[in-house]
């Protein structure tokens, strides 16, 4: 694939959001977390695309939708390398990496079977207690887990 | 697009701090150094004046989703001595939670009736969650293996009372340091007071690494031992004994090997410091021999009684009752 064609793949959107450099293994988890399966706008999902940095990558292109930053940052736990491109009138007007928030709500299940969150209809909540490696702690029972072992909904 | 926005705004609403329920007590780490010291003074006051009518007209719920007679009686006595009334249950099998009612619904229902909820639950994080569904203050009386702050307060009060201070003490913890939540909470609460810890346990039950990291981060000195030796006992101010339980062991042979290594006998106290006091969260089995009971250094029964005064102080804190004002009006 030529460089020009690659650029086109990212930019061939009049208006919308492109989320690039998602690790292939978590692409569909990212789709889930963003909740975009319910959208009725034009949507392109690509996976196992060549990536200079990571071997293969996934990409999500959503036409005419501009997500709040907090929504996009929700995928940072599983896809810390993801990059968000905001497209307006075929131009990339903004490009930024996702940023892991301090608190993660409703994405990860607690691995402690005796945790209240696994026994009550409620949202989970985790605090990011370390960023290198990423470690999160359950707000309720206090159990900690590293992000690679975290069970994402 | 709107659906996505709605979803995430919903998440956003719940991600930050809850506007709740400042006077609840879920974990000992909710309490600052100053507040710990103030509560200890209040406990001392209640020890000298245990009966007050300051909860006149108040109703307190004791919700024990998991039975714990010792803790429940202590809390209920505290409420009664303060002139309040108690409703509640002592066993989840008698409540609607066995019919599938959520904790949230039970807490909301009880909140209609009472000024304070004291709850014990078998699930970890239950008390924290309860504070998020009600405006009624919650006191956590134990949530699974997680937190039991009133136990920690009575431990702190026992140390304070017997040593005259909390600062710069040699504290030795013996037995099950892996699963023992009382030793974990006490360790964390002592971070303000420059303790020197000795951890005495077999390999299978030694202090978890996260608590050793906690010590390192807070500049707390600690040494680990597998031998419960005279050297350790003789350089200790507070000897905190815990029970080594068979069910904690994956290898039963290992249990048989270590089960008697961490038992305390009176003769082992011969060279100990004059100010040494022996604590134990109770119930004990055989980790403290009966011949220790008559030694004036044995403190575990008084320690349990101190729980009453510590809990009186915690109840007043939860209800916003200023015990220092009480003192002034008494004079
Ligand atoms: Zn949990």
Based on the domain organization, do A52 and A118 belong to the same domain?
A: no
Task: Give pLDDT, residue B206.
Answer: 95
What are the structure tokens assigned to B324, written together? 């220092």
Check B3, B15, B99, B331 and give the catalytic one: B99
Based on the domain organization, do A112 and A129 belong to the same domain?
A: yes
Find which of B17, B124, B129 to mutate to test the A interface (most A CBs within 10 Å of its CB). B124
Based on the domain organization, do A88 and A109 belong to the same domain?
A: no
* Residue A113 included in any domain: yes
Q: Are the beta carbons of B125 and A139 separated by less than 8 Å?
A: yes
Find which of B66, B101, B125, B148 to mutate to test the A interface (most A CBs within 10 Å of its CB). B125
* Domain B2-147+307-321 class, CATH top level: alpha beta
Q: Are the beta carbons of A65 and B1 separated by less than 8 Å?
A: yes
Q: Are the beta carbons of A138 and B125 separated by less than 8 Å?
A: yes
Look up B212 and say whether it is catalytic. no
Minimum-distance CB partner of A65 among B4, B14, B126: B4
* Residue A2 included in any domain: no
* Residue A112 included in any domain: yes
Task: Give pLDDT, residue B98.
Answer: 63
Q: Which of the residues in chain B have pLDDT under 70?
A: 1-20, 94-99, 327-331
Neighbours of B162 (CB within 10 A): 18
What is the distance in angstroms between the Cα of A5 and the nearest Cα belonging to chain B?
29
CB-count exposure of residue B22 (10 Å: 0-12, 13-18, 19+): exposed
Residue of chain A with shortest Cα separation from B16: A103
What is the distance in angstroms between the Cα of B129 and the nearest Cα belonging to chain A?
7
Based on the domain organization, do A45 and A119 belong to the same domain?
A: no
Q: Considering only residues B147 and A3, tell me which one the structure prediction assigns the higher pLDDT.
A: B147
What are the structure tokens assigned to A11, written together? 């930019």
Task: Give pLDDT, residue B250.
Answer: 84
Torsion of CA B30, B35, B37, B38, to 10 degrees: -140
Cα B55 to Cα B307: distance, rounded to the nearest angstrom: 18
Centre of ligand 1 to C-alpha B60, Å, is 28
Q: What ipTM was assigned to the predicted interfaces of this complex?
A: 0.85
Residue B247 near chain A (CB below 8 Å): no
Minimum-distance CB partner of B7 among A35, A104, A142: A35
Task: Give pLDDT, residue B137.
Answer: 97
Check B52, B58, B72, B120 and give the catalytic one: B120
Q: Are the beta carbons of B146 and A64 separated by less than 8 Å?
A: no
Please give the radius of gyration of chain B, using alpha carbons only, rounded to the nearest integer.
Answer: 21
Q: Are the beta carbons of A39 and B1 separated by less than 8 Å?
A: yes
Minimum-distance CB partner of B124 among A67, A114, A122: A114
What are the structure tokens assigned to B175, written together? 């037995």
Asked if B42 and B78 count as a contact pair (C-beta separation under 8 A), the reply is no
* Residue A120 included in any domain: yes
Based on the domain organization, do A34 and A74 belong to the same domain?
A: yes
* Residue A5 included in any domain: no
Based on the domain organization, do A19 and A79 belong to the same domain?
A: yes
Look up B71 and say whether it is catalytic. yes
Asked if B287 and B175 count as a contact pair (C-beta separation under 8 A), the reply is yes
β-sheet with A91-97: strand ranges across: A43-51, A55-63, A15-23, A83-88, A91-97
Measure Cα distances from A49 to A1, A95, B320 in Å. 11, 20, 61
Cα B190 to Cα B167: distance, rounded to the nearest angstrom: 9
Cα A7 to Cα A13: distance, rounded to the nearest angstrom: 11
CB-count exposure of residue A50 (10 Å: 0-12, 13-18, 19+): exposed
Look up B324 and say whether it is catalytic. no
Torsion of CA A138, B142, B208, A148, to 10 degrees: -20
What is the distance in angstroms between the Cα of B208 and the nearest Cα belonging to chain A?
13
Kindly report, residue by residue over A75-130, the tens digit of the pLDDT.
999 999 999 999 999 999 999 999 999 999 999 999 999 999 999 999 999 999 98
Based on the domain organization, do A51 and A70 belong to the same domain?
A: yes
For A85, the domain range is 15-97
Task: Give pLDDT, residue B2.
Answer: 33
Angle between helices B300-318 and B33-48 (to 10 degrees): 110
B2-147+307-321 and B150-305: identical CATH topology: yes
Instruction: Report yes or no on whether pTM surpasses 0.80.
Output: yes
Residue of chain B with shortest Cα separation from A140: B125
Based on the domain organization, do A91 and A113 belong to the same domain?
A: no
Based on the domain organization, do A91 and A114 belong to the same domain?
A: no
What is the distance in angstroms between the Cα of A78 and the nearest Cα belonging to chain B?
17
As for how many domains chain A has, the answer is 2
Look up B181 and say whether it is catalytic. no
DSSP B289-306: -GGGTTSTTB-HHHHHHH
Residue A45 near chain B (CB below 8 Å): no
Based on the domain organization, do A108 and A84 belong to the same domain?
A: no
Percent of chain A at pLDDT above 70? 93
Task: Give pLDDT, residue B158.
Answer: 98
Check B70, B191, B273, B297 and give the catalytic one: B70
**Phi-psi map region of A16: left, alpha, beta (phi>0 left; psi -120 to 50 alpha):** left
Please report where in the chains the tokens 């989320």 appear, as a residue: A19
What are the structure tokens assigned to B308, written together? 């009453």
Look up B148 and say whether it is catalytic. yes
Centre of ligand 1 to C-alpha A125, Å, is 8
Domain positions in chain B:
2-147+307-321, 150-305
Based on the domain organization, do A78 and A52 belong to the same domain?
A: yes
Q: Are the beta carbons of B15 and A138 separated by less than 8 Å?
A: no
Check B71, B106, B152, B182 and give the catalytic one: B71
B contacts of A112 (beta carbons < 8 Å): 124
Q: Are the beta carbons of B124 and A115 separated by less than 8 Å?
A: yes
CATH 3.40.50.150 for domain B150-305, yes or no, is: no
């Amino acid at each position: 694939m030529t460089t020009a064609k690659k650029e086109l793949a990212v930019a061939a959107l009049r208006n919308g959001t492109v989320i690039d450099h998602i690790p292939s293994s978590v692409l569909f988890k990212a789709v889930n977390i963003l909740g975009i399966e319910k959208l009725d706008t034009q949507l392109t999902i690509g996976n196992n695309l060549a990536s200079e940095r990571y071997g293969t990558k996934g990409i999500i292109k959503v036409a005419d939708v501009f997500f709040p930053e907090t929504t996009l940052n929700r995928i940072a736990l599983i896809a810390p390398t993801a990059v968000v491109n905001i497209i307006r009138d075929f131009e990339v007007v903004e490009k930024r990496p996702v940023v892991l928030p301090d608190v993660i709500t409703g994405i990860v299940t607690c691995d402690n079977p005796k945790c209240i969150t696994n026994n009550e209809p409620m949202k989970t909540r985790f605090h990011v207690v370390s960023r290198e490696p990423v470690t999160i702690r359950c707000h309720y029972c206090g159990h900690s887990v590293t992000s690679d072992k975290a069970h994402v909904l | 697009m709107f659906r996505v926005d709605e979803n995430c705004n919903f998440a956003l609403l719940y991600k930050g701090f809850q506007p709740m329920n400042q006077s609840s007590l879920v974990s000992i780490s909710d309490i600052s150094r100053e507040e710990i010291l103030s509560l200890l003074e209040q406990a001392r006051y209640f020890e000298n004046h245990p009966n007050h009518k300051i909860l006149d007209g108040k109703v307190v719920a004791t919700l024990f989703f998991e039975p714990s007679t010792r803790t429940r009686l202590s809390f209920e006595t505290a409420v009664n001595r303060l002139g309040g009334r108690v409703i509640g249950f002592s066993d989840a099998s008698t409540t609607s939670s066995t019919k599938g009612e959520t904790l949230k619904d039970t807490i909301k229902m009880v909140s209609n009736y009472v000024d304070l909820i004291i709850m014990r639950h078998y699930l970890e994080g239950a008390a924290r969650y309860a504070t998020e569904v009600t405006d009624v203050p919650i006191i956590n009386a134990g949530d699974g293996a997680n937190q039991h702050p009133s136990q920690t307060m009575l431990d702190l009060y026992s140390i304070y009372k017997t040593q005259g201070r909390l600062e710069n003490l040699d504290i030795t913890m013996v037995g099950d340091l892996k699963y023992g939540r009382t030793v974990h909470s006490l360790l964390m609460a002592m971070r303000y007071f420059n303790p020197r810890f000795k951890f005495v346990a077999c390999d299978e039950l030694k202090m978890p690494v996260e608590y050793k990291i906690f010590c390192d981060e807070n500049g707390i000195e600690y040494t680990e031992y597998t031998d419960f030796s005279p050297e350790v006992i003789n350089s200790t101010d507070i000897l905190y004994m815990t029970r080594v339980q068979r069910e904690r062991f994956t290898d039963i042979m290992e249990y048989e090997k270590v089960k008697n290594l961490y038992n305390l006998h009176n003769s082992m106290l011969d060279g100990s410091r004059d100010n040494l006091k022996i604590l134990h969260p109770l119930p004990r089995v055989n980790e403290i021999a009966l011949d220790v009971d008559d030694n004036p250094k044995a403190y575990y029964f008084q320690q349990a009684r101190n729980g009453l005064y510590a809990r009186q102080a915690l109840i007043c804190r939860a209800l916003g009752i200023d015990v220092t004002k009480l003192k002034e009006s008494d004079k």
